[in-house]
Amino acid sequence: MSNERIPVSPFRYLLCPSNALLVTCCDAEGRSNIITITWLIPVSIRPPLVGMSIGPTRHSYRLIQATGEFVINTAPYQISQQALFCGLRSGRDVDKFALTGLTPGEALRVHPPIIEECTAHLECRVLRDIEAGDHRFVIGEVLAAYARPGSLADGLYDLSRIHPLLHLGRNRFTSTLSESVEPPLPT
Ligand SMILES: Cc1cc2nc3c(=O)[nH]c(=O)nc-3n(C[C@H](O)[C@H](O)[C@H](O)COP(=O)(O)O)c2cc1C
């Protein structure tokens, strides 16, 4: 059987589903914003670094560039509607906390707020900002990381209790099975 050949530009959908994350940031006066981000990966363990691909035209990029701080909030499936809203509207025009009803909470080490409805929070400080095609690749150092009580089992998400929001492409979302498997190691 032959493979389905697709145009190159939607290559990114072949890498889905991936975590749909809500990244929070704020301006110098403390006015905060939320951007939906799926292009975000760990890039180093020691030091703990993440890399996020963000469009330079995003209002959030300007805020992150100005303050050097952001928080990654992992979203549960239950807030897919709010996540889509934060990915389709700009903080230049609207107050996303007010319009989504999401609750800001105080972070431990940085100025942008955490989102109380989210499962886990990674507080980050910008280390590098690299040109990457039509996006910027922002590398952040993770200063603090914590999860909602009861969401982890032995340090991993407890999928009987947590349903992470996963992006399937375009405006479609999905989540995990309520189980996880550990396949046998290769011999
Ligand atoms: C599911 C989803 C995932 C997205 N992922 C990214 C991403 O990884 N990087 C990015 O720059 N924009 C991404 N976007 C687009 C931004 O979230 C969108 O442009 C947003 O309105 C920018 O808001 P802001 O202007 O308030 O920063 C995504 C949008 C959606 C709906």
Domain ranges of the chain: 19-52+59-141
Helix (H, G, I), strand (E, B) or coil at 13: helix
Give the other-Cβ count within 10 Å of 108's Cβ.
12
* CA separation for the pair 136, 51 (Å, rounded): 10
The residue whose CA has the least distance to atom 29 of ligand 1 is 87
Q: Work out which ligand 1 atom sits closest to the CA atom of 52.
A: 8
The residue whose CA has the least distance to atom 10 of ligand 1 is 54
Phi, psi of 178 (to 5 degrees): -85, 10
- For residues 67 and 25, the answer to whether their CB atoms sit within 8 Å is yes
pLDDT tens for residues 25-50?
999 999 999 999 999 999 999 999 99
CA angle (19 as vertex; 109, 80 as ends), nearest 5: 95
3-state helix, strand, coil in the chain (%, to 5): 20, 40, 45
pLDDT tens for residues 129-170?
999 999 999 999 999 999 999 999 999 999 999 999 999 999
**Overall pTM > 0.85:** yes
Give the Å distance between the CA of 73 and the centre of ligand 1: 14
Phi, psi of 116 (to 5 degrees): -60, -30
Top mutation candidate among 31, 38, 59, 131 for ligand 1, by most atoms within 8 Å of CB = 38
Give the Å distance between the CA of 3 and the centre of ligand 1: 31
Would you say the CB of residue 33 lies under 6 angstroms from ligand 1? yes
Query: In the CATH scheme, what is the homologous superfamily, with its name and number, of domain 19-52+59-141?
Result: Electron Transport, Fmn-binding Protein; Chain A (2.30.110.10)
